[in-house]
Chain A
């Protein structure tokens, strides 16, 4: 699964609410519906998408099915965010270098010799 798929999966606000509800632990569907404040009608489809995307696991418990979060996609998101931050840290290094270039270009020869 690519990072783009992960973001697309979480781009839906209902699915984000389901993930929020599952942060408290394993839940059956009716508890997810109640806790997330979402409508019953679409929850099965959203849970299926989250399951197919690797965000949730599901296991039978008698007549019920219990859903829980899986760590893998969140680790991938963490990794992506770290990379994104690193990219911008590098870009701001470059910003600083450009600032210095401009300062040097505008400084007098005497000042440059002082450096």
Chain B
């Protein structure tokens, strides 16, 4: 029973996934990557996709509206295999917005065929550590079947090649 108990405890639907990193940068630098058009476009989205921000209102309850566009051959092939368009508009809002401390980004997922719209929330906390900043990202994956589908298709495994795009874009 122990295996089942442990797995059940670890995978309860209410339990968030927490991912954290410490970066050699200021809180403001990290904050800007979430809350400015250029910053957000520079990293958001899975490998093989680029993001074009149409609107980013950096304030409490501010709108975030962007297109996520498959632009690498493997990403295009994956989207075609799943019968999804190569570009889709995505909307969200900053449910919490406490500059340099905490934000909560709620996405409205309404582009999955055959699935009712739902919300997906990401909480981000920033903490200064001398000249570095710790960032804690809390995810709520049970409300995010979109990513479960991507993951099920093996899409996540293609995301390790991180530096290439930045290297070529520099």
Contacts and interface: CB of A to CB of B under 8 A. Distances in A.
A16 B29 contact: no
B141 interface: yes
A99 B29 contact: yes
A10 B19 contact: no
Nearest to B158: A90
If over half of A's interface residues share one DSSP class (helix, strand or loop), that class is named, otherwise mixed; here it is: helix
Interface residues on A, range: 35 or more
B170 interface: yes
A80 B151 contact: yes
Interface in A1-21: 2-4, 7-8, 10-11, 16, 19-20
A7 B47 contact: no
A59 to B, nearest CB: 16
Interface in B1-53: 1, 3-5, 7-14, 17, 19, 21, 23, 25, 29-30, 32-33, 39, 42-44, 46-47
Contacts of A99: 23, 25, 29-30, 33
Interface stretch (A28-36, A37-45, A46-54, A68-76): A68-76
A101 B163 CA distance: 11
Contact of A78 (B11, B33, B157): B11
Contacts of B142: 7, 10-11
A87 B159 contact: yes
Contacts of A2: 148-149, 152
B137 A92 contact: yes
A110 B32 CA distance: 25
A89 B42 CA distance: 16
Nearest to B43: A98
Contact of B151 (A87, A97, A101): A87
A25 interface: yes
A95 B43 contact: yes
